[in-house]
Structure 1
Amino acid sequence: MKALQGIEGRVEWAERSRELCDAGQIRIQVAAAGLNRADLLQRAGHYPPPPGVTDVLGLECAGVVSEVGPGSTWQVGDRVCALLAGGGMAEEVVVDAGHVLPVPDGLSLVEAAALPEVYATAWLNLFQLARLQPGEKVLVHAGAGGVGSAAIQLCKAFGNSCWVSVGSAERLAYCESLGARGGVLRGENLEALRDHAPFDVILDPVGASYAPLNLDVMARDGRWVIIAMMGGRRAELDLAKLLAKRVQLTGSTLRNRDDAFKSDLIRELRQQVWPLFGEGRLKPQLERTFAAQDVDAAFAELESNQVNGKIVLVIDESLS
Structure 2
Amino acid sequence: MRAITISRPGGPEVLTWAEVPDPVPGAGEVLVEVAAGAVNRADLLQRQGFYDPPPGTSPYPGLECAGRIVALGPGVAGWGVGDEVCALLTGGGYAERVAVPAGQLLPVPAGLDAERAAALPEVVCTVWSNLFMTAHLRPAETVLVHGGASGIGTMAIQLAKAVGARVLVTAGSAAKLERCAELGADVLIDYREQDFVAEVRKATDGAGADVVLDIIGAKYLQRNVEALAVNGRLVIIGLQGGVKGELDLNALLRKRAAVIATNLRGRPLAEKAAIVAAVREHVWPLVEAGVVRPVVDRVLPMADAAEAHRVVEAGEQVGKVVLTV
- C-alpha contact 1:165 1:190 (8 A) present in aligned 2: no
Which residue of the partner structure matches residue 2 of structure 1? 2
- C-alpha contact 1:26 1:72 (8 A) present in aligned 2: no
- Is residue 148 from structure 1 mapped to residue 153 from structure 2 by the alignment? yes
Following superposition of structure 1 onto structure 2, how do residues 302-317 of structure 1 map, counting pairs within 5 Å? Answer: 302-315=312-325
Which whole-Å deviations, capped at 9, do the CAs of 1:158-216 have from their partners, x for residues lacking one?
11110001111111111111011012111210243331241000000011221222111
Unmatched tracts of structure 1, length 5 or more: 316-320
Following superposition of structure 1 onto structure 2, how do residues 56-67 of structure 1 map, counting pairs within 5 Å? Answer: 56-67=60-71
Which residue of the partner structure matches residue 159 of structure 1? 164
Once structures 1 and 2 are overlaid, which stretch shifts more, 54-63 or 227-236?
A: 227-236
Which residue of the partner structure matches residue 90 of structure 1? 95
- C-alpha contact 1:141 1:203 (8 A) present in aligned 2: yes
| Match 1:193 to one of 192, 196, 200 | 200
Once structures 1 and 2 are overlaid, which stretch shifts more, 298-307 or 266-275?
A: 298-307
Which whole-Å deviations, capped at 9, do the CAs of 1:103-156 have from their partners, x for residues lacking one?
000000011000000000000100011011111100000111001111000011
C-alpha distance in structure 1 between counterparts of 2:71 and 2:26, whole Å = 10
- C-alpha contact 1:224 1:249 (8 A) present in aligned 2: yes
Which residue of the partner structure matches residue 287 of structure 1? 297
Q: 1:263 offset after TM fit, Å?
A: 0.5
Q: 1:23 offset after TM fit, Å?
A: 2.6
Give the SS at the match of 2:130.
helix
Q: 1:19 offset after TM fit, Å?
A: 2.2
- C-alpha contact 2:4 2:303 (8 A) present in aligned 1: no
- C-alpha contact 1:104 1:274 (8 A) present in aligned 2: yes
Once structures 1 and 2 are overlaid, which stretch shifts more, 208-217 or 259-268?
A: 208-217
Q: TM-score, normalised by structure 1?
A: 0.96
Unmatched tracts of structure 2, length 5 or more: none
| Match 1:137 to one of 127, 134, 142 | 142
Which whole-Å deviations, capped at 9, do the CAs of 1:80-109 have from their partners, x for residues lacking one?
000001001101001101100000000000
C-alpha distance in structure 2 between counterparts of 1:187 and 1:256, whole Å = 33
Give the SS at the match of 2:93.
coil
C-alpha distance in structure 2 between counterparts of 1:178 and 1:204, whole Å = 19
Q: 1:20 offset after TM fit, Å?
A: 2.0
Which residue of the partner structure matches residue 54 of structure 1? 58
Q: 1:62 offset after TM fit, Å?
A: 0.3
Following superposition of structure 1 onto structure 2, how do residues 189-268 of structure 1 map, counting pairs within 5 Å? Answer: 189-191=194-196, 192-197=199-204, 198-268=208-278
Which whole-Å deviations, capped at 9, do the CAs of 1:35-64 have from their partners, x for residues lacking one?
000111111111111121121110000001
Give the SS at the match of 1:284.
coil
Letter in 1 for 2:16: E
Give the SS at the match of 2:291.
coil
Q: 1:236 offset after TM fit, Å?
A: 1.6
| Match 2:179 to one of 171, 174, 177 | 174
- Is residue 19 from structure 1 mapped to residue 23 from structure 2 by the alignment? yes
Q: 1:14 offset after TM fit, Å?
A: 2.3
Give the SS at the match of 1:215.
helix
C-alpha distance in structure 1 between counterparts of 2:246 and 2:96, whole Å = 46
C-alpha distance in structure 1 between counterparts of 2:60 and 2:145, whole Å = 30
C-alpha distance in structure 2 between counterparts of 1:184 and 1:196, whole Å = 10
C-alpha distance in structure 2 between counterparts of 1:293 and 1:258, whole Å = 31
Letter in 1 for 2:43: D
- C-alpha contact 1:84 1:99 (8 A) present in aligned 2: yes
- Is residue 120 from structure 1 mapped to residue 125 from structure 2 by the alignment? yes
Q: TM-score, normalised by structure 2?
A: 0.95
Letter in 2 for 1:271: E
| Match 2:84 to one of 61, 79, 88 | 79
Once structures 1 and 2 are overlaid, which stretch shifts more, 192-201 or 124-133?
A: 192-201
Once structures 1 and 2 are overlaid, which stretch shifts more, 70-79 or 137-146?
A: 70-79
Matched positions, count: 315
Q: 1:238 offset after TM fit, Å?
A: 1.3
Over the aligned positions, Cα root-mean-square deviation in angstroms equals 1.1
Query: Percent of aligned positions with the same letter in both sequences?
Result: 45
C-alpha distance in structure 2 between counterparts of 1:104 and 1:5, whole Å = 30
Once structures 1 and 2 are overlaid, which stretch shifts more, 250-259 or 70-79?
A: 70-79
Once structures 1 and 2 are overlaid, which stretch shifts more, 14-23 or 103-112?
A: 14-23
- Is residue 32 from structure 1 mapped to residue 36 from structure 2 by the alignment? yes
Which residue of the partner structure matches residue 298 of structure 1? 308
Once structures 1 and 2 are overlaid, which stretch shifts more, 100-109 or 20-29?
A: 20-29
